Amino acid sequence: MISIRTPLVLLTFGFAACSSATESAPDGAPDGGGDGAEVNVVVTHPDATPIAPATECTVTTADARETSGAHFAPCDDVTYDTVPPCTGTHYSQWADYGVYDAPVPWGFLVHCMEHGGVVLVYGCDAGDCPDVVALMEAIAAERTDPLCTGANPNRVVVVPDPTLGFPVASAAWGHVYRATCLDEPSLRAFVDEHYANAPEDTCAGGVDASATGWCP
């Protein structure tokens, strides 16, 4: 994996402003998912500092409606209905678990989730939100998985995505987490709840094309 962080473009983080501390959003996830793509949407407002340009800490969790898990050839066109992607068609290969400094195509990451992996993804520039990156890397480093016998001790991926639209997010098979702030308790709870909870409970090394380019 590359060792020098690549500068990312800081996007405007979109979120739905809500007045109560805990809310259930209607099916369809108006602040992240496609039409009808998400169900059981819950919006909370933890007491955490929002990440600029957001002015309020908003955490959204949701489940995704079931879609096909068919395999496509690596780098074929695939589309997803949730932000971040968390289920559906994906590549026949999965990304190696670990920490990446540049984006990884979601077709590889969704396959990681099918194996019970959890993806921690940040949409802010690493230099602008070092606490976000540090916490995600700490979560990735501290878990030991007895099913993992390769170089990586668990099924966690940390990766940037400048197109995300949120500074903090996570995804597991069928579940998404989005936040305009760094709320450690809710992020950890999401990882703990969904780690190793997927159709295929397995851990094996995947591919890492970060040095040569994933889709040249």
Residues in contact with 150: Cβ distance below 8 Å, sequence separation at least 6, in sequence order: 203, 204, 205
pLDDT for 69 equals 82
DSSP 128-187: T-HHHHHHHHHHHHH---TT--SSSSSSEEEEE-TTSSSSEEEEETTEEEEESB--HHHH
pLDDT beyond 70 at 110: yes
Q: Is residue 156 a part of any domain in this protein? A: yes
| 8 A C-beta contact, residue 173 and residue 196 | no
Averaged confidence pLDDT in the chain: 86
Q: Is residue 208 a part of any domain in this protein? A: no
User: Considering only CA atoms, which of 73, 79, 84, 86 is closest in space to residue 215?
Assistant: 73
Model confidence band, residue 182 (pLDDT cutoffs 50, 70, 90): very high
- Per cent of the chain over pLDDT 70 is 83
Residues facing 177 on adjacent strands: 61, 170
Q: Is residue 50 a part of any domain in this protein? A: no
pLDDT for 5 equals 33
30-60: pLDDT as tens digits: 345 544 689 999 999 999 999 999 999 999 9
Model confidence band, residue 23 (pLDDT cutoffs 50, 70, 90): low
pLDDT beyond 60 at 215: yes
Domain that holds residue 107: 66-182
pLDDT beyond 70 at 11: no
9-23, 71-85, 101-115: the lowest-pLDDT one: 9-23
pLDDT for 18 equals 31
Q: Is residue 24 a part of any domain in this protein? A: no
Q: Any idea which residue has 């908003």 for tokens?
A: 58
Q: Is residue 31 a part of any domain in this protein? A: no
pTM for this model (two decimals): 0.85
User: Considering only CA atoms, which of 42, 33, 27, 43 is closest in space to residue 88?
Assistant: 33
Q: Is residue 99 a part of any domain in this protein? A: yes
127-131, 148-152, 208-212: the lowest-pLDDT one: 148-152
In this prediction, residues 186-190 reach a mean pLDDT of 98
Q: Is residue 203 a part of any domain in this protein? A: no
Work out how many domains the chain is built from and give that number. 1
